[in-house]
Amino acid sequence: MLENIRIQNETIPLIIKKSPNRKRTLSFHMTEIWLTIQIPLKTKEDYLEKIITKRLDWIYKHWQNLKNIKVNKIQDINIDRIYYRGEIYKLEILETDKKRCKINFENNILQIFIKKDTAPELKNKTIKKKLNEWYKKEAQDLITQETKTLAKIHNFSFSEIYIKNYKSKFWQCRAKDLYFNYKLIKLPIELIRHVILHELCHLKHKNHAKNFRNLLRELDENFVENKKYLKEKWSFILNI
Ligand SMILES: [Zn+2]
């Protein structure tokens, strides 16, 4: 099966999902990390290649758009509180004479120190950058720890854990590697665990068919509620 699509100077990773429920049509879903195409079980490779070739313009355009969204998104943040592991904390911005920006989390307050003479138009950008770096570091530590623990308890083996900034996608299992959106750190630990378990189950079952659901239900007793909550809240979490 195809692995990557090359267009101009871009390489777009491609995931082909064979779906037993799909009768005829192919569906394309693009995120900033790869393109997923769901196909009916019996789709022939040359037919798939033909469809992809036909759609190359669309694929390239979408890929470029997603890249641009990521760049523009940093601006215009005015926040005085943050979400962290399911709780809300106060965010304090303090000015300092020191050259380096620093961050402090004590007594339920997150303090970000920024250089005194930072230009007003750069302030929000600097704050947001620092905050996201902090989130990412926290996510890296917690998710890595939790994944190792859960994998050990339930007997899964994985290769690497990647904590990244995705615009929409917040988890993924590819080969034996696990990918998580660092914004998961904003959610309560039970939901973070639910997502980790979801990904661990994909090590055994690639799709979301019955076997997958049964296994996840076995490992996560609040499977139904957790799944529902995530579905409802995720776009909010992404944008705060
Ligand atoms: Zn999944």
Asked if pLDDT for residue 215 goes beyond 80, the answer is yes
Q: How far is the CA of 30 from the centre of ligand 1 (A)?
A: 15
pLDDT band at 155 (very low <50, low <70, confident <90, very high): very high
Q: How far is ligand 1, taken at its centre, from the CA of residue 55, in Å?
A: 26
Q: Could you tell me the distance, in angstroms and rounded to a whole number, from the CA of residue 225 to the centre of ligand 1? A: 16
Residue 201 alpha carbon to ligand 1 centre in Å: 8
CA of 169 to the centre of ligand 1 (A): 11
The 3-state secondary structure of the chain, one letter per residue: CCCEEEECCEEEEEEEEEECCCCCCCEEEECCCCEEEEEECCCCHHHHHHHHHHCHHHHHHHHHHHHHHHHHCCCCCCCCEEEECCEEEEEEEEEECCCCCEEEEECCEEEEEEECCCCHHHHHHHHHHHHHHHHHHHHHHHHHHHHHHHHHHHCCCCCCEEEECCCCCCEEEECCEEEEEHHHHHCCHHHHHHHHHHHHHHCCCCCCCHHHHHHHHHHCCCHHHHHHHHHHHHHHHHHC
* CA 163 to ligand 1 center in whole angstroms: 16
More confident residue, 55 or 100: 55
Residue bearing tokens 């909550």? 229
Ligand 1: centre distance to CA 83 (Å): 25
Q: Is the pLDDT of residue 97 over 60?
A: yes
DSSP β-ladder status, 177-181 and 161-164: parallel
What are the domain boundaries of the chain? Answer: 4-72, 81-239
**Domain at 81-239, CATH from 3.30.910.20, 1.10.10.1100, 3.30.2010.10, 1.10.10.10:** 3.30.2010.10
206 C-alpha to center of ligand 1: Å? 8
What mean pLDDT do residues 20-49 have?
Answer: 81
Instruction: Note the pLDDT tens digit of each residue in 120-148.
Output: 778 888 888 889 999 999 999 999 999 99
For residues 170-188, average pLDDT: 86
Q: How far does the centroid of ligand 1 lie from the alpha carbon of residue 180, in Å?
A: 12
Cβ contact 36:1 at 8 Å: no
Q: Could you tell me what percent of the chain has a pLDDT over 90?
A: 31
pLDDT tens track for 62-82: 888 776 654 333 333 456 778
| Residue 45 scores a pLDDT above 90 | no
pLDDT value at residue 92? 86
* Other beta carbons less than 10 A from residue 190's beta carbon: 13
